[in-house]
Structure 1
Amino acid sequence: MTQKEFSETINFHSSSLRLHALNFTKDPEDANDLLQDTLLKATRFVSKFEDGTNIKGWLFVIMRNTFINNYRKCLKTREHITQEEEITYANLFHSAETNGSVGNFAIQDIKRALDLLPEKYSSSFIRYFEGYKYHEIADQMQIPLGTVKTYIHEARLLLKKHLKQYRS
């Protein structure tokens, strides 16, 4: 099968693939992303497709496997997210969005609480909050990985103590 024939064939099946993706994701935007990922993988691995086999079935299998892999990746990401009662951007944002003036007070309180932290705790916590991984913080600060984890944990405990009025 030539590349042109392959492209025409997967283009022909794209509408049924999109419906299948919608069954998986239950969201039109996510379905479009899944369809795009599926067609991209199919195009990349066209050499693995054997002529004479069911191309629609092959595409559906690629889509199913892509969806499962993405789902597993999301689960792993959720495992690394901190507990709800811990200080997180989502919790701080929720407490700050209720009212503009209340939000300004919350931001001021957060800044004060961060200023009260010992330097070793605040510097590692702020880096973590900015999105750095534990090992990156350890490399930047030239301290052991376990120490970074301890500093961040202690910072969270102190921030929780100083910001307890914002717990929901």
Structure 2
Amino acid sequence: MNNSQFNQMIEQHRSMLNAFALKFTGDIEDANDLIQDTMVKALRFSESFESGTNIKGWLYTILRNTFINEFRRNAKRQSVVTQQEEISSAHLLQTATRNGAEGSFAMRDINLALKNLPDAYSVPFIRYFEGYRYHEIAEELDIPLGTVKTRIHEARKLLQKQLQMYKAKKFN
């Protein structure tokens, strides 16, 4: 089956996907984004679909997993935002100057340490830090899952070594 035939086949199930996406997201725009992401992934991984099997089930699984992964990413981001909003303004005023200076030095050192990592380590590490799961990174970079895990582990070790001066220091 060529790409155009496969595209026509999955397009026939768009309305079914639309109903599920709307049920998941509760918002028409978010549902449309979810369907678009699902269709892109279906086309990208069309070679893994076995002809004669349940295309609806396959598409639904992609849609559901895409929604869950995006939900997890957003939950991580929300958690950081919520924790930052809970910091009292009095505490911020008291420590802003000192933390700002120390923070800028630390961020400069972290960015420098990340730049010193080989691309083979830094790209998977940054993707993982952004909230992507190991298998998503492996798919995106087209490398084995074990390689992704190893490279992230090695990146952590290298960063620890380069940033060990901050390990003993506590920012109070």
- The Cα offsets for residues 109-161 of structure 1, whole Å up to 9 and x where unpaired, read as x9xx59x954x422355x5xxxxxx96344369974458972xxx5xxxxxxx
Unaligned runs of at least 5 residues, structure 2 = 114-162
| Residue of structure 2 aligned with 1:123, choices 98, 101, 109 | 101
Distance 1:84 1:35, change over 3 A: same
Alpha-carbon distance, 1:9 to partner: 1.1
CA distance in 2, matches of 1:5, 1:135: 53
Identity of aligned residues (%): 39
Partner residue of 2:67?
67
Q: Which residue of 2 aligns with 1:85?
A: 86
- Give 3-state SS (helix, strand or coil) of 2:50's partner: coil
Q: For 1:15 and 1:148, how far apart are their aligned partners in 2?
A: 56
Structure-to-structure mapping, 1:11-160, within 5 angstroms: 11-81=11-81, 82-86=83-87, 117-118=96-97, 120-124=98-102, 136-139=107-110, 144-145=165-166, 150=171
Q: CA deviation at 1:83?
A: 4.8
Whichever residue aligns with residue 30 of structure 2, its letter is D
Residue 2 of structure 2 corresponds to 2
Size of the aligned set, in residue pairs, is 119
In 2, the alpha carbon distance for the partners of 1:44 and 1:36 equals: 12
- Secondary structure in structure 2 of the residue aligned to 1:53: coil
Rg comparison, structure with higher value: 1
Q: 1:7-34: CA deviations, max 9, x gaps?
A: 1111111122112100000011111111
Mapped partners of 1:148, 1:28: distance in 2 = 49
Q: Give the gaps of 5 or more residues in structure 1.
A: 89-109, 128-133, 155-168
Query: Does the Cα contact within 8 Å between 1:138 and 1:145 map onto a contact in 2?
Result: no
